[in-house]
Chains A and B, each alone.
Chain A
Amino acid sequence: MEISGSRMVVEALKREGIDTVFGYPGGAIMNVYDELYKQDDIKHVLTRHEQAAIHAAEGFAKVTGEVGVAIVTSGPGFTNAVTGLADAYMDSVPIVVISGQVPMALIGTDAFQEIDAVGISRACTKHNYLVTDAKDLPRVIKEAFYIARSGRPGPVHVDIPKDVSAQITEFVYPDKAEIPTYNPAFKGDLEKIKNAVEAIKSSKRPLLYVGGGVVQSNSGNLVREFAEKTGIPAVETLMARGVMGSTNPLLISMVGMHGSYAANIAMSEADLLISFGPRFDDRVTGKLSEFAKEAKIIHVDIDPSSVDKLVASHYPIIGDLHSVLTDMLPLITEIEPEQFEDWRDAIEKNDKLHPLGYDKGEAIKPQEVIEKIGEVFGDRANISTDVGQHQMWAAQFYPFSRPRQFNTSGGLGTMGFGFPGAMGVKAGDRDRVAVNVTGDGSILMNIQELMTAVEYELPVVNVILNNNYLGMVRQWQTLFYDDRISETDLTVQPDFVKLVESFGGVGYRVETMEELEKALLDAEKRNVVALIDVKVDRRENVMPMVPAGGSLYNMMLR
């Protein structure tokens, strides 16, 4: 079959099982848009900004575990997409981003809307391609999907010059990507797994350090089984929220800068850290020289460059976590949950001493807003967030019950991620309520997506924890800069209710907890794009807090 390069793109997407793409057209990508027009299998969601298209593809990928796809034009279309690529790169999100490029003959001439896209994306993608001949397109797209989803997942960018998408040539879509230089690790070394199990047997204070890799590899059930079988308590990173389930007695809480007291102390007192797919981020470890000083470290990760990068491990195991856990579980014999009872009791005592909590007051506390959303929606909702205090409160206080329930920008910390991310989540999981917990600062960074959400019936419920501040920065100013509030006061604000209504959504202004509950239920029932503006105590701080660079066990508590 001889077809155009642009038709190949669409055919290839179909064969990859893609039914939804997010994007924004422009000159250099028009051939592809013309092909999208001629078919009905793939639905295109026109976001109102390219950054949002990428975040939506990320949200889709995170909630479904499949590859998300976004399409943008050359020049500014592509540069607008860069933040999204970087976000996906930092959080290992499998997406494929296709961009148009000026025709081959114009590349390098400073042509209209020309930018060296692969030069820019090289630093923030797992891999990228500039396609110079349409006969390479089928192979390139096949490889792009394979690379995005295999090994440690990540974004792949494919840049297609306009004359290449117009070029007509033979189309044969390969069954399989064959890249001789790319062999992602799969099975872990059995000897090493056995040694790790021996270390677990002889440990006294073992701790499961559960990271985002567990979600990526769909190993949540195996990790829960591991914990149950051994009675070993667990802490979760931000990216792993939901893995253990909030009602699990073995889950201590989140660990790290805003982790719970008991979780951070457990990390510091453990004699064995069983690390399943975390990356020892500085927001988790605090001061490295003081990190888990008492512990031997087992580190299971699919990415060899993650192991021993920051913290030297005693039992490194490189492999797919799901496969490693499948090999590991049957080896776990002679471990009785009773043997760690004292350790669990000590942790429990710490948790009672300084539980995650807050003081109620006159004004609505942001934490109680999260608790209320949890009470009203619980397992029924997928929670996305923006970046700031509200993000940390969502991570601390939402009763997560399963992996992939929590969708947040962890590595890059991208304000503006939440709303388009939640649109992608909704597109990928229609049966659940898509909530975006956001801030009065963050929501304005992709507010134009109200239009997309209304047009495509992606009823995201945005809950603004409105503190009239860039709260997280304000918190640092208060704590570390003598409360000099430099450019973080957001007293001047839009009327959020009118704003959302002008786009055709529904707005709620909420001043009491009863009103909040009503608004949440109403938004769910009416199935509308909603913006709930909740005035919260503006001076509340996220606690506990490990000051940046400090030791994990030295927390400010209130």
Chain B
Amino acid sequence: MNGEAAAPMVGAPMVEAKALVKRFGDVEAVRGIDVQVRTGEAFGFLGPNGAGKSSTMRMIASTSPRSDGDLRVLGMDPDVDGPRIRARLGSVPQQDTLDTELTLRQNLQIYGRYFGMSRADVRRKATELMEFAQLSERADGLVDALSGGMKRRLTIARSLVNDPDLLLLDEPTTGLDPQARHMLWDRLFRLKAGGVTLIITSHYMDEVEQLCDRLVVMDDGRIVAEGSPSELIARYSTREVLELRFAPGEQGGIAARVAEFGERVEELPDRVLVYTGDGERALEQVHGRDVRPVSSLVRRSTLEDVFLRLTGRTLVD
């Protein structure tokens, strides 16, 4: 080493996947995706059940070997340097894998030790993280006695024990109440401000919109779109959406009748969506055509609309 103090490599890819494939027997869960996650950014994987989000996350977490293609995490190859990569990752798997027969504190301390941390360090860190997860009063109780959301919070706290450079969160907010969700978002923002790179999967488009600088939409093992939330909305949707709901059985034929009032119309089982730059105006025109919905709503486009456009399906039913 020449001893020069090097600056952190801002913008160097934390994760770089090329034609990445994951197969389970005959099932191809990930079918050749290209992804680049830059240092310091918050990156999202959005997609429906079975899209291959978790399979991708596990490959990045270096717990699941790739079947094909190329992958670099923190500049290293998981097949060669798995332990070295994992030493610097935080990972929140989709399923909590806590030791329910131990206390919260013991869970955090034992986990921290696997990262080569000293007893004193893990003790201090455990206390700090239980504070972070607002579980301090339960610190010395058994994990078994926690509610589902509390377990989730503990799993998230556990992932931070080694001060990770890259934090992988697979549906972190599943099972959290709205308050805990917002608390977590706040914490994630702060981690990001502290230089931690985040990769998040979610079914919740609001979550991804809030948290992620950039995201990919996955469907059936492939990436169907990539960009920032606002870019994707601008590219694949209109500024506003008019939602029309009808009494049961009265929706038939409506889509065709209102089609001319928007750039695009989608018919869902329970409503008709009119994509337009000006929702109020479209609504007036709809009324002018003597179409009488039982209720109507004008809202901004979201990633949900992007997803619908790209896959023809809704993300959350």
Q: Do A and B come from one complex?
A: no
Interface residues, chain B, CB within 8 Å of chain A?
none
Interface residues, chain A, CB within 8 Å of chain B?
none
